[in-house]
């Protein structure tokens, strides 16, 4: 089914769809990487002390804190950041991912207002927390699941249980989810958001039927082809969907599936760069890629994490926010150019080093 | 003579030094005036009486006697008036400036390498004829100080009281007039944190204008630099480190950290993490090896990169129960200086257990500690439930949803005592009702059930009564629901001396490293309202930000409640310990804590164990040997002592025989201490019962920790300076000490007063006058 309205670009403008110029751009990018110097970190390191764990923590923490300060300044009086609950949810998750929990610390008011907005945004009739698509609902459910247990407000628990019920009830026969809260069609991009939300809820001991999990596994695996994952069954594989598919299998407990190791190997080969290339949805891709590679661990993680970390640290603006790489697809769409979304996603990528969000524990 | 007389009057050196400003006064001038006014009529009256009563005496004798009595009266009037010496002056008080020379072994390493010829040239200026490449760090520091001894230090002495110290394992005075080489041999340890703390403490509240620290920044023992910087910061004493060498790094490959889970289950494959730093070997592939004895257990290849510390996970398959000493090593690449090869290997200890502890976890809501702990326990194959293969979890929130209390919660002592450990989270008294608590008390006190209580904001333990509170190793502030930290000033953790070596809170064998790790764990925003530790409780971790009437707040503590051990965790934020390292410290703490409190039971087939701590020691250091031995029937050995042999080298040669003493509190446990006198690979060998010999290995290295990180730790020195308001400077920038040190001599008005009658002199004078009076009367036949 084709949705009646275009999905929000920043979150979901079909990041699985393959850009037409992907191959030439990828080739060009690889050539540039081969010729390029190793970057500021490497240059600084000649004869200098190696970057220790403590220094990595300090640099990442400073960067995230600047990002969160920017987000706090952008929050609207009603507790939202945007008329899109995916944006509102990633902003909330960015605070939680840094270890700021309800009722404590410098952002207690920000969290309380943000939580209140999400709970109020839930529709009474069906528990849907979205102004448009299931993208929003999945992300909002994830935020509520992470809040649950740390926030004594009983409304959070109530809202979360209803949100989970809606996700379980809207899974289609193939095991996936699509834009609308109805069990009709499916794509991997929307599906992964529901999978992460269900995993977080399940980790909080909210029961999720085993049948739902098994069908989701089946759907994710059906999107695998060649060396990665496609947006929909039979489609072309894309870097965004390869990252999302890997994480989906990991969160669903399929660590030993042969598809996973193949897809992780191909995922680790994508370039980490600040420009329009093979990665059209920069933040979407890196949000899933770093989680998937962390879950995979080992050599791929060791090689990947310093590259994206240094890139984000280098590209952060002086006010603590992040831009989007020029020419990439997250610069437009229904949520439009949106520094809140980019900044929250930048923080969430860096927060992998914190290991605080329970949903993403290995 | 005058000085002697004044000192007899009770005036100290300050009065003597400023004698020209001393004034004499009286505490009670009115008494003096009244006395003097009365003295004249009294003298007249006495003269009249003497003229009548001593008519036979000559007038000269009468006048003498009268004069003596008047003198006595005058003296008494003066004493009554309270004569005092008063001194009013302006005193100049200078702040203290400490010059601390790191005199540890690592300071004998070369000052180089240097980034370039220009950097080497800067230092050559004050080295005279000596080639800069041949100079040690300490020699460079001394040369820099001597070059400035005339100009800079004259100026500093004008502003400060300059004191010198040499620091290594201890702090000793050092002559900063000539800057000689310290008399004592270079130390095998660097306790720079202790040195800073001691200087601040010895100042006794006096202003410390600065601490100039000539050091390579390597700390091997004692207080961490992070702690020391906090103390210096609180005392407002800027630390000005001087890096005595070049900014380039030594060509070296170093294993800077190894980490293993403390206890694993038989059959598990566990990661042994190794952290590598290298310099000068970029692109070179090296093979990191994991060995037990001579057997190679795993090999991982790493391509060396100087830009960042590299992490490697080696795999260890735990097949044989017991205490295993594993060695991680990096073969020395060609070109690495021989002196720096000691840091290419490290030892880690892993205890492999074939026992499975039964654990019950009760929680109120799915707070984050519960979500991480639940999974950590499920991954720990040494833990299981009473009936299932994973620890049992009872979550009150889920039970409430279904409209009742969970079925699985045992409410009789027998069922509870089937568990080894019960972990109680923030569950409400509705779930943990009186019946449960009664059963719990019996199971803990009488059956030895282990109990961990983790505090929470909703219920635990402030909403419970004495039934639960009496089991805890802490005393609480009424029903106060904990202390929140100010938003801008979160709480931090402070490991106690007991905690730094305790099996529940031991992340590393080395207590210094352990304290450093704990001090740097993330800050948190809430803790339980603990007032003090209970009687006979041991406090492992404190919250130094909250002071109670009994000292800083006990955060993690344990004690015995009857036969059972109870551990209290006064924060709900141990999930924060996952920052950057994931499970490492979080899972290790909880795994160790659950095992520490766990109910002990007689196991007839149990084998003995032999443990040695630390695994890496220095000559002269005390090595603790811990033996668990059982007899042929599997019962704890009841002998008064157990023999232990110490072997060294390959092939092993016996170097000592010890008798481990029985621990009266723990059947079958024996303890001994061995102090190795020289480096080498050592083994402790004992009979663990049933004829099976037990062996534990340890390594004694000359200055092992001193040379583990051979480069000047500019990061640590820089952070120390930044945290205290100082700045890291180079040896040719000593002039900037004058700008960086703070404080100026202060003029302090000084008023001093000393009584000058309450002394032997006045008493003697009085006695003398009286004796003269008596003598004259006797000699003239008047009495």
Q: Residue B714: list chain A partners with CB under 8 A.
A: 49
Interface test with B, best of A98, A100, A104 (most B CBs within 10 A): A104
The per-residue pLDDT for B612 is: 80
The per-residue pLDDT for B601 is: 66
Give per-residue pLDDT as tens, A96-153. 999 999 999 999 999 999 999 999 999 999 999 999 999 999 999 999 999 999 998 8
ipTM, 2 dp: 0.87
Residue B8: pLDDT band by 50, 70, 90 thresholds?
A: confident
Give per-residue pLDDT as tens, B618-641. 777 788 888 888 877 777 788 888
Separation between Cα atoms, residue B43 and residue A133, nearest integer Å: 117
The per-residue pLDDT for A325 is: 93
Helix axes B59-81, B29-53, angle to 10 degrees: 160
The per-residue pLDDT for A85 is: 96
Q: In what order do the strands lie in the sheet with B680-687?
A: B609-613, B623-628, B669-674, B653-662, B641-648, B680-687, B693-700, B616-617
Residue A22 has pLDDT above 80, yes or no: no
Nearest to A57 among B308, B487, B580 (CB): B580
Kindly state the helix (H) or strand (E) to which residue B31 belongs, with its residue range: helix B29-53
Give per-residue pLDDT as tens, B414-458. 999 999 999 999 999 999 999 999 999 999 999 999 999 999 999
Residue B22: pLDDT band by 50, 70, 90 thresholds?
A: confident
**Local structure of residue B223 (DSSP, 8 states):** S
Whether omega before B614 lies within 30 degrees of 0, making that bond cis, reads yes
DSSP B517-548: HHHTSPPBSEE--EEEEPTT-EEEEEEEEEEE
Closest chain A C-alpha to B468 CA, distance in angstroms: 23
Residue A88 has pLDDT above 90, yes or no: yes
Nearest to A55 among B248, B306, B715 (CB): B715
Nearest to A47 among B249, B371, B582 (CB): B249
Q: Which residues contact A124 (CB under 8 A, 6 or more apart)?
A: none
Residue B247: pLDDT band by 50, 70, 90 thresholds?
A: confident
Separation between Cα atoms, residue B781 and residue B774, nearest integer Å: 11
Confirm whether pTM is higher than 0.90: no
From B218, B283, B285, B276, select the one nearest B252 (Cα to Cα): B276
Separation between Cα atoms, residue A357 and residue B285, nearest integer Å: 36
Helix axes A239-251, A258-267, angle to 10 degrees: 140
> Mean pLDDT, chain A, as a whole number?
86
Residue A178 has pLDDT above 60, yes or no: yes
| A145-162 burial: b if 16+ Cβ within 10 Å, else e | bbbbbbbebeebbebbbb
Give per-residue pLDDT as tens, A37-81. 333 333 333 345 566 777 888 899 999 999 999 999 999 999 999
Query: B371–A55: do the CB atoms touch at under 8 Å?
Result: no
Give per-residue pLDDT as tens, A262-314. 999 999 999 999 998 889 899 999 999 999 999 998 889 988 999 999 999 99
The per-residue pLDDT for B701 is: 66
DSSP B164-190: EEEESSSEEEE-TTT-PPPSSPPBS--
Helix axes B225-234, B714-724, angle to 10 degrees: 20
The per-residue pLDDT for B242 is: 94
Token pair for B411: 């409410």
Residue B287 has pLDDT above 60, yes or no: yes
Residue B252 has pLDDT above 70, yes or no: yes
In the A/B pair of chains, how many CB contacts fall below 8 A? Answer: 116
Residue B502: pLDDT band by 50, 70, 90 thresholds?
A: confident
Asked whether the CA dihedral A131, A137, A141, A142 is positive or negative, the reply is: negative
The per-residue pLDDT for A30 is: 28
Is some CB atom of chain B closer than 8 A to the CB atom of A148?
yes
Token pair for B54: 């001593």
Closest chain B C-alpha to A42 CA, distance in angstroms: 6
3-state secondary structure of B748: strand
Give per-residue pLDDT as tens, B34-66. 999 999 999 999 988 888 888 888 888 888 989
Closest chain A C-alpha to B488 CA, distance in angstroms: 7
Give per-residue pLDDT as tens, B470-499. 999 999 998 999 999 998 899 999 999 889
Query: B371–A104: do the CB atoms touch at under 8 Å?
Result: no
Lowest mean pLDDT among A88-97, A124-133, B180-189, B591-600: B180-189
The per-residue pLDDT for B132 is: 81
Phi/psi region, residue B294 (left: phi>0; alpha: psi -120 to 50; beta: rest), is alpha
Strands B421-424 and B392-395: unpaired
Cα–Cα distance list, B143 to A128, B137, B154 (Å) = 75, 10, 17
Count of beta carbons in the 10 Å neighbourhood of residue B638: 10
Give per-residue pLDDT as tens, A211-222. 999 999 999 999
Q: Residue B310: list chain A partners with CB under 8 A.
A: 302
Closest chain B C-alpha to A151 CA, distance in angstroms: 8
Residue A29 has pLDDT above 50, yes or no: no
Separation between Cα atoms, residue B246 and residue B123, nearest integer Å: 9
Most confident of A140-144, B114-118, B264-268, B698-702: A140-144
Separation between Cα atoms, residue B741 and residue B96, nearest integer Å: 10
Q: Residue B526: list chain A partners with CB under 8 A.
A: 104
Residue A13 has pLDDT above 60, yes or no: no
Cα–Cα distance list, B99 to A131, B102, B177, B229 (Å) = 67, 10, 11, 16
Q: Which residues on adjacent β-strands are paired with residue B301?
A: B287
Share of chain B above pLDDT 70, in %: 96
Separation between Cα atoms, residue B244 and residue B730, nearest integer Å: 7
Most confident of B53-62, B117-126, B384-393: B384-393
Share of chain A above pLDDT 90, in %: 75
The per-residue pLDDT for B632 is: 73
3-state secondary structure of B558: strand
Query: A354–B484: do the CB atoms touch at under 8 Å?
Result: no
Q: Which residues contact B778 (CB under 8 A, 6 or more apart)?
A: none
Separation between Cα atoms, residue A107 and residue A94, nearest integer Å: 11
Residue with tokens 């004078």, as numbered in its chain: B765
Q: Which burial class, exposed, middle or buried, applies to B472 when counting CB atoms under 10 A from its CB (0-12, 13-18, 19+)?
A: buried
Closest chain A C-alpha to B578 CA, distance in angstroms: 6
Residue A1 has pLDDT above 60, yes or no: no
> Mean pLDDT, chain B, as a whole number?
87
Q: Which residue has the higher pLDDT, A168 or B711?
A: A168
Strands B538-548 and B494-495: antiparallel
Query: Quick one: closest CA in B to A107, which residue?
Result: B487
Residue B696 has pLDDT above 90, yes or no: no
**Local structure of residue B19 (DSSP, 8 states):** G
Lowest mean pLDDT among A268-272, A297-301, B9-13, B367-371: B9-13
CB A188 within 8 A of CB A199: no
Token pair for B101: 């020379």
Q: Residue B402: list chain A partners with CB under 8 A.
A: none
The per-residue pLDDT for B704 is: 52
Q: Over range B551-565, report the average pLDDT.
A: 94
Give per-residue pLDDT as tens, B317-357. 999 887 788 999 999 988 888 877 878 988 888 888 888 89
Q: Residue B398: list chain A partners with CB under 8 A.
A: 205-207
CB A360 within 8 A of CB A291: yes
């Amino acid at each position: 089914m084709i949705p009646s309205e275009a999905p929000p670009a920043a979150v979901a403008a079909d990041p699985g769809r393959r850009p037409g110029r992907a191959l030439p751009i990828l080739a060009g990018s690889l050539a540039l990487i081969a010729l390029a110097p190793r970057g500021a970190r490497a240059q600084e390191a000649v004869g200098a002390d190696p970057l220790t764990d403590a220094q990595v923590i300090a640099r990442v923490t400073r960067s995230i804190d600047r990002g969160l300060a920017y987000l706090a300044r952008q929050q609207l009086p009603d507790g939202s950041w945007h008329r899109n609950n995916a944006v509102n949810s990633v902003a909330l998750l960015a605070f939680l991912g840094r270890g700021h929990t309800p009722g404590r610390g410098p952002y207690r008011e920000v969290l309380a207002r943000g939580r209140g907005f999400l709970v109020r945004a839930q529709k009474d009739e069906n528990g849907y927390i979205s102004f448009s698509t299931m993208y929003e609902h999945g992300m909002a459910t994830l935020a509520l699941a992470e809040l649950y247990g740390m926030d004594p407000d009983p409304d959070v628990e109530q809202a979360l249980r209803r949100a989970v019920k809606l996700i379980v009830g809207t899974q289609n026969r193939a095991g996936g989810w699509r834009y609308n809260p109805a069990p009709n069609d499916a794509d991997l991009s929307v599906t992964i958001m529901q999978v992460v939300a269900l995993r977080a809820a399940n980790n909080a001991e909210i029961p999720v039927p085993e049948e739902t999990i098994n069908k989701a596994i089946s759907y994710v695996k059906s999107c695998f082809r060649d060396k990665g994952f496609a947006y929909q069954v039979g489609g072309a594989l894309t870097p965004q969907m390869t990252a999302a598919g890997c994480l989906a299998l990991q969160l669903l407990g399929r660590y030993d599936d042969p598809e996973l190791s193949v897809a992780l190997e191909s995922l680790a080969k994508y370039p980490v760069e600040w420009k329009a290339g093979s990665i059209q949805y920069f933040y979407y891709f890196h949000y899933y890629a770093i989680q998937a590679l962390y879950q995979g661990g080992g050599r791929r993680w060791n090689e990947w994490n310093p590259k994206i970390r240094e890139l984000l640290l280098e590209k952060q603006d002086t006010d603590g926010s992040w831009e989007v790489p020029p020419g990439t697809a997250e610069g437009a769409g229904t949520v439009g150019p949106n520094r809140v979304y980019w900044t929250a996603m930048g923080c969430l990528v860096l927060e992998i080093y914190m290991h605080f969000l329970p949903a993403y524990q290995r | 003579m005058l000085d002697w007389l004044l000192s007899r009057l009770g005036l100290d050196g300050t009065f003597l030094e400023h004698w020209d400003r001393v004034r004499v006064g009286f505490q009670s001038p009115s008494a003096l005036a009244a006395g003097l006014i009365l003295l004249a009529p009294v003298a007249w009256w006495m003269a009249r009486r003497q003229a009548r009563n001593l008519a036979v005496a000559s007038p000269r004798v009468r006048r003498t006697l009268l004069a003596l009595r008047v003198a006595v009266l005058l003296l008494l009037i003066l004493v009554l008036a309270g004569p005092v010496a008063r001194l009013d002056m302006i005193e100049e008080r200078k702040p203290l400036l400490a010059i601390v020379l790191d005199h540890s072994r690592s300071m004998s390493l070369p000052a180089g390498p240097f980034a370039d010829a220009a950097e080497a040239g800067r230092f050559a200026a004050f080295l005279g004829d000596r080639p800069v490449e041949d100079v040690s760090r300490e020699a460079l520091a001394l040369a820099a100080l001597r070059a400035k001894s005339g100009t800079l230090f004259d100026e500093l002495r004008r502003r400060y009281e300059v004191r010198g110290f040499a620091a290594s394992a201890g702090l000793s005075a050092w002559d900063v007039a000539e800057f000689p080489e310290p008399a004592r041999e270079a130390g095998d340890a660097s306790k720079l944190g202790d040195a800073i703390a001691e200087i601040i403490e010895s100042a006794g509240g006096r202003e410390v204008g600065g601490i100039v620290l000539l050091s390579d920044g390597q700390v091997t023992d004692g207080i961490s630099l992070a702690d020391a910087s906090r103390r210096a910061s609180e005392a407002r004493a800027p630390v000005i480190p001087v890096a005595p060498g070049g900014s380039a790094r030594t060509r070296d490959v170093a294993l800077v950290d190894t980490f293993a889970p403390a206890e694993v289950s038989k059959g598990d494959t566990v990661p042994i993490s190794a952290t590598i730093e290298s310099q000068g070997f970029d692109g070179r592939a090296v093979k990191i090896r994991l060995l037990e004895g001579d057997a190679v257990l795993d090999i991982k290849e790493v391509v060396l990169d100087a830009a960042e510390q590299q992490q490697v996970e080696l795999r260890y398959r735990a097949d044989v129960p017991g205490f295993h000493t594993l060695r991680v090593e990096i073969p020395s690449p060609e070109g690495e200086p021989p002196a720096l090869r000691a840091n290419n290997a490290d030892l880690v200890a892993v205890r492999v257990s074939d026992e499975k502890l039964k654990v019950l976890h009760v929680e109120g809501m799915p707070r984050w500690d519960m979500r991480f702990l639940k999974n950590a326990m499920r991954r720990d194959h040494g833990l299981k439930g009473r009936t299932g293969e994973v620890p049992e979890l009872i979550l009150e929130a889920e039970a409430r949803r279904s409209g009742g209390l969970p079925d699985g919660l045992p409410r009789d002592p027998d069922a509870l005592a089937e568990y080894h450990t019960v972990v109680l989270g923030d569950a409400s008294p509705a779930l943990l009702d009186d019946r449960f608590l009664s059963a719990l008390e019996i199971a803990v006190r009488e059956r030895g059930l282990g109990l961990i209580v983790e505090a929470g904001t909703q219920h635990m333990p402030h909403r419970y009564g004495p039934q639960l509170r009496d089991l805890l190793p802490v005393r609480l502030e009424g029903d106060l629901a904990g202390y929140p930290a100010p938003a801008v000033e979160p709480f931090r953790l402070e490991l106690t001396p007991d905690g730094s070596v305790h099996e529940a809170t031991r992340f590393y064998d080395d207590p210094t490293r352990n304290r450093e790790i704990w001090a740097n764990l993330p800050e948190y925003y809430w803790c339980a309202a603990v007032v003090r530790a209970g009687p006979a409780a041991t406090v492992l971790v404190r919250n130094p930000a909250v002071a109670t009437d009994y000292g800083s707040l006990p955060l993690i503590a344990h004690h015995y409640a009857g036969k059972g051990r109870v551990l209290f965790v006064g924060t709900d934020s141990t999930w924060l310990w996952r920052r950057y390292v994931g499970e490492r410290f979080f899972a290790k703490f909880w795994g160790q804590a659950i095992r520490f409190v766990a109910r002990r039971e007689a196991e007839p087939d149990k084998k003995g164990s032999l443990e040695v701590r630390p695994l890496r020691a220095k000559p002269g250091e005390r090595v603790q040997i811990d033996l668990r031995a059982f007899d042929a029937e599997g019962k704890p050995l009841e002998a008064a002592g157990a023999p232990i042999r110490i072997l060294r080298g390959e092939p092993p040669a016996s170097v000592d025989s010890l008798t481990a003493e029985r621990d009266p509190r723990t059947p079958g446990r024996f303890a001994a201490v061995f102090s190795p006198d020289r480096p080498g690979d050592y083994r402790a060998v004992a009979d663990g019962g049933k004829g099976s010999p037990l062996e534990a290995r340890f390594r004694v290295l000359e200055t092992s920790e001193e040379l583990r990180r051979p480069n000047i730790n500019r990061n640590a020195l820089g952070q120390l300076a930044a945290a205290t308001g100082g700045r890291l400077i180079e040896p040719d920038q000593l002039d900037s000490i004058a700008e960086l040190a703070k404080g100026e001599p202060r003029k302090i008005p000084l008023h001093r007063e000393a009584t000058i009658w309450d002394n032997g002199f006045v008493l003697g004078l009085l006695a003398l006058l009286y004796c003269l009076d008596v003598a004259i009367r006797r000699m003239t036949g008047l009495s």
